[in-house]
Structure 1
Amino acid sequence: MITLRQATDCGHADHGWLNSYHTFSFASYYDPKHMGFRDLRVINEDRVAPGRGFPTHSHRDMEIISYVISGSLAHKDSLGNTEVVSANGVQRFSAGTGIAHSEFNPSATDPVHFLQIWILPEKQGLTPSYEQKLFPLDPQDGWRSIANPDASSGAVKIHQNVALFATTIAATDKRTYTLQPDRHAWVQVVKGTIVLNGQRLHAGDGAAVSEEPQLTLLAETDAEVLLFDLA
Structure 2
Amino acid sequence: MAVTSPTQPVIDIRRADDRARTEIEWLDSKHSFSFGHHYDPSNTHHGLLLVNNDDRVAPGLGFDTHPHRDMEIVTWVMRGSLVHQDSTGNSGVIYPGLAQRMSAGTGIMHSEKNDSWRLTGGESHGEPVHFVQMWVVPDESGIAPGYQQLEIDDELLKGGLVTIASGMDAHRNETAIGIANRYAALHGARLQPGQSVQLPEAPYLHLFVPRGEVTLEGAGTLHEGDAVRFTATGGQRVTAVEPAEILVWEMHAGLAA
Per the normalisation by structure 1, the TM-score is 0.94
CA contact (8 A) 1:139 1:170 kept: no
**Kindly tell me: are residues 188 and 93 of structure 1, through their superposed partners in 2, closer, same or farther at Cα, counting changes over 3 Å?**
same
Deviation of 1:152 (Å): 3.7
Aligned with residue 17 of structure 1, among 9, 12, 26? 26
Deviations for 1:81-105, whole angstroms, at most 9, x for unmatched residues?
A: 1111112222101000000001110
Is 1:146 aligned to residue 164 of structure 2? yes
CA distance in 2, matches of 1:113, 1:178: 26
Residue of structure 1 equivalent to 2:12: 3
Is 1:162 aligned to residue 180 of structure 2? no
Is 1:187 aligned to residue 187 of structure 2? no
CA distance in 2, matches of 1:55, 1:158: 24
Q: Among the aligned pairs, what percent are the same residue?
A: 38
**Kindly tell me: are residues 18 and 30 of structure 1, through their superposed partners in 2, closer, same or farther at Cα, counting changes over 3 Å?**
same
How well do the aligned residues superpose, as a CA RMSD in angstroms?
1.4
Deviation of 1:138 (Å): 4.2
Deviation of 1:173 (Å): 2.5
Residue of structure 1 equivalent to 2:48: 39
CA contact (8 A) 2:160 2:196 kept: no
Residue of structure 2 equivalent to 1:125: 142
State the structure with bigger RCO (CA 8 A, min sep 6), 1 or 2.
Answer: 2
Deviations for 1:61-117, whole angstroms, at most 9, x for unmatched residues?
A: 000011000100101111011111112222101000000001110153111000011
Residue of structure 2 equivalent to 1:217: 238
CA distance in 1, matches of 2:173, 2:73: 18
CA contact (8 A) 2:205 2:234 kept: no
CA distance in 2, matches of 1:145, 1:155: 6
Range with greater deviation from structure 2 (201-210 or 148-157)? 148-157
* Structure 1 alignment gaps of length 5 or more: none
Count the aligned residue pairs.
229
CA contact (8 A) 2:213 2:240 kept: yes
Amino acid at match of 1:32: P
Deviation of 1:139 (Å): 5.7
Is 1:108 aligned to residue 125 of structure 2? yes
Aligned with residue 91 of structure 1, among 100, 105, 114? 100
CA distance in 2, matches of 1:52, 1:195: 35
Amino acid at match of 1:204: G
Aligned-partner SS, 1:8: helix
Question: Whose strand proportion is higher, 1 or 2?
Answer: 1
Per the normalisation by structure 2, the TM-score is 0.85
* Structure 2 alignment gaps of length 5 or more: 1-9, 116-123, 253-257
Residue of structure 2 equivalent to 1:57: 66
Amino acid at match of 2:150: K
Amino acid at match of 1:229: E
Range with greater deviation from structure 2 (80-89 or 44-53)? 80-89
